[in-house]
Amino acid sequence: MSTQPPHSDRKKVTTLSFREKKIIGEQITMLTAYDYGTAAVIDRARIDSILVGDSLGMVVLGYENTLPVTMDDMIHHCRAVSRGADYALLIGDMPFMSYQISLDEAIRNAGRFLQEGGMDAVKLEGGRERSETIKAIVGAGIPVMGHLGLTPQSVHQLGGFRAQGKSATQAQRLFEDSQILQDAGCFSLVLESIPARLAKLVSQQLEIPTIGIGAGPDCDGQVLVTHDLLGLFDRFTPRFVKKYADLHLEMTRAFEAYIQDVEAGEFPERRHCFSMPDEAWEALLRELGIEA
């Protein structure tokens, strides 16, 4: 891991910086992280925002989808990420059923992300049906990022992980939802797996910045799941992912080399061992009654 100090010399990114970047036409960068070490590396690479996504459920915890992820899972990982990052805007993803039951529960759970998890904001999925929830959370002083298009917590309702907003009716609804979420107080919106021209239209019409994932180049920023970018998650790779490394392969090579070395007696070598002064060694043998 990098031994560089954190970016104490740089001003932390805020929700206002997001809006400023949109105004001056600078792209906003965002990646997911779920642990201290990865967050530290991403933060020091000067990312604008780190999302502790509920994709955690799939890429770290090995579930089929994000539905089993709990508030306690999220808080645990948010705390680790917040210890590793002091520059990026930290956003915690509200898991399935943490904001749907009642406004009170939604506010309480959103608050936990800031109070216990060290996050700066929360994200939740859904369109117009979430507007009262968003107003309530924003009303409690907690910044909210919306999420439209492919909303993975609705995977069963959507009939799988598939692109959204392809028909005129679907696209119009998504367009209207984006305006409703802005009016409800969202500081930004994730647009996932929708046609690039629809994402462009939505981004042009909104004052708040859009962050795309599988939504083309004309959003106000981009996000990817870090495990996809690094080639760490081998179950499937969505077509919108650009792999910047193949760490799955690198890790496999490293683990196989380690196993081979241990089995062949080639690790550890002398330089990996600690020494003991002769006098201490001889005293020990005398004490134990063992002949040298």
Contact positions vs ligand KIV (CB under 6 A): 32, 51, 53-55, 93, 190, 192, 213, 223, 225
Cβ-contact 188, 211 below 8 angstroms? yes
Q: Of 141, 149, 157, nearest to 125 (Cα)?
A: 149
Distance CA 272, CA 224 (A): 39
Closest approach, Cβ 125 to ligand KIV, in A, equals 8
Closest approach, Cβ 287 to ligand KIV, in A, equals 58
Distance CA 193, CA 95 (A): 19
How many of the other CB atoms lie within 10 Å of CB of 239?
8
Out of 192, 250, 263, 291, pick the active-site residue. Answer: 192
Element (H, E) at 227: helix 226-229
Comparing every residue's Cβ against ligand KIV, the nearest one is: 53
Distance CA 2, CA 8 (A): 15
Nearer Cβ to ligand KIV (73/139): 73
Closest approach, Cβ 88 to ligand KIV, in A, equals 15
Nearer Cβ to ligand KIV (7/61): 61
Closest approach, Cβ 263 to ligand KIV, in A, equals 38
Nearer Cβ to ligand KIV (87/233): 233
Element (H, E) at 229: helix 226-229
> Which structure tokens are listed for 287?
């004490």
Nearer Cβ to ligand KIV (48/54): 54
Cα separations in angstroms, 149 against 19, 36, 156, 208, 214: 21, 30, 14, 17, 10
Cβ-contact 109, 102 below 8 angstroms? no
- 125 noted as active-site residue: no
User: Which residues sit opposite 189 in a β-bridge?
Assistant: 146, 210
- N residues, the chain: 292
Around 20, how many Cα atoms within 13 Å sit in the side-chain half-sphere? 6
Closest approach, Cβ 122 to ligand KIV, in A, equals 12
Nearer Cβ to ligand KIV (54/220): 54
Indicate the SS3 state at residue 50.
strand
Closest approach, Cβ 51 to ligand KIV, in A, equals 6
Element (H, E) at 194: none
Nearer Cβ to ligand KIV (32/38): 32
Catalytic residue set: 192
